[in-house]
Amino acid sequence: MTDLICAHWTFAGIRNPLSLRDRARAAAEGGITRMGLALDDYRAARAEGLTPSELRRTVDEFGVRVEEIEFLRGWASTGDGPGLPGELVGALPWTEQERILLEMAETFEADHLNCGDAGFNGPLLPLEEVVDRFGGLCSRAAAVGLTVVLEPMPWTPIPDLATARDIVAGAGTANGGILLDTWHYFRAGGNAAVLETLDPGLIKLIQVDDSGPAQGDVFEDTMTRRLFPGDGEFDLVGLFTRLKALGVQAPVSVEVMSDVIETLTPAEAVARARTSTEALLDKVNWGQA
């Protein structure tokens, strides 16, 4: 078993529904004991009549922990946009999303909540308001022992690490941090210089994946064309080497949102995620002094 986290979308892609039981079983069979879970799937399970305690027993049965919950969106924008089309959570106000996500955190004793703003809910609020909202979210999350990580994405109102840094550092909360996703980092140009401007302790989660050249629509590319670490052209070894040198000690979550996933069984997808990422981290002695 390994300390890696298997992110929600790595189990079955974005189109294939999968029960929590099947996810927990796949994680265990694939050699990972820490997993992610999206709000949509939790909400669907609750709608089927499953209680929080029943859902917790399901993952406990397989010796798996839900450590990563996601994704809170819409909290940093004006709310004037249409929302994310075709998504169950798209119609929920961000305050209701937060309520459910905090319930998830209590249910599973999750470690961190991923948040961001995909830009579908209108333009970004003034920075000082975004900082205040992020700080308030962190305060409420602290009550259930939860770390909140902000994910910058280059095609959104929070496009880069510098913007995320200004928000997180401005809020100044102990449980607030940055989620560095290798896909978004390299798609934004892979600006290594900005890493030097970050307090290494601000990076509290790394999501890892790989890719070939950008293709077509940026949203479709993001959601369907990621690759397992080592299968693409990202300089992941260089990035992790630099992060280690800077003193970053964040947990690593494997997030491969890809049509490739849909050709594998969930357990096969987890195993591929584990072995490919372990091979990467072994090259840089990640987690070792």
**Residue type at 7 in one-letter notation:** A
Look over the chain and give the mean of its residue pLDDT values, rounded to a whole number: 91
Summarised one tens digit per residue, pLDDT across range 34-92 is 999 999 999 999 999 999 999 999 999 999 999 999 999 999 987 755 555 444 445 68
What domains can you pick out in the chain, each with its CATH number? 2-283 (3.20.20.150)
pLDDT score at 88: 42
- Which residue did the predictor score with more confidence, 263 or 276? 276
Residue that the structure tokens 């077509």 belong to: 216
β-sheet bridge partners, residue 178: 150, 203
pLDDT score at 115: 97
pLDDT score at 81: 54
In this prediction, residues 231-238 reach a mean pLDDT of: 96
pLDDT score at 85: 46
- Provide the sign of the torsion angle of the four alpha carbons 240, 241, 245, 249, taken in this order: positive
Q: How many Å apart are CA 210 and CA 13, to the nearest integer?
A: 15
Listing DSSP states for 178-245 in one string gives: EEEEHHHHHHTT--HHHHTTS-GGGEEEEEE-B--S--SSHHHHHHHB-B-TTSSS--HHHHHHHHHH
In this prediction, residues 191-212 reach a mean pLDDT of: 94
- Which residue did the predictor score with more confidence, 189 or 238? 238
Closest CA to 6 of 211, 250, 209, 179: 209
Per the structure block, which two tokens stand in for 125? 């609020």
In this prediction, residues 109-125 reach a mean pLDDT of: 87
Q: Measured between alpha carbons, how far is residue 245 from residues 182, 264, 289 in Å?
A: 17, 36, 10
* pLDDT at residue 16 greater than cutoff 60: yes
For residue 120, give every residue at least 6 positions away whose Cβ sits within 8 Å of its Cβ, in sequence order, or none.
73, 74, 81, 82, 83, 84, 85, 90
Q: How many Å apart are CA 95 and CA 117, to the nearest integer?
A: 14
Query: What SS3 class is residue 73?
Result: coil
Q: How many Å apart are CA 222 and CA 60, to the nearest integer?
A: 32
Per the structure block, which two tokens stand in for 43? 């909400």
Tally the C-alpha atoms within 13 A of residue 197's C-alpha that lie toward its C-beta.
Answer: 12
Per the structure block, which two tokens stand in for 205? 């989660």
Closest CA to 136 of 176, 90, 89, 107: 176
Summarised one tens digit per residue, pLDDT across range 136-188 is 999 999 999 999 999 999 988 899 999 999 999 999 999 999 999 999 999 88
Using CA atoms in the order 178, 179, 181, 184, what is the torsion angle rounded to 10 degrees?
Answer: -50
- Which residue did the predictor score with more confidence, 29 or 212? 29
DSSP strand pairing (252-254 vs 2-6)? parallel
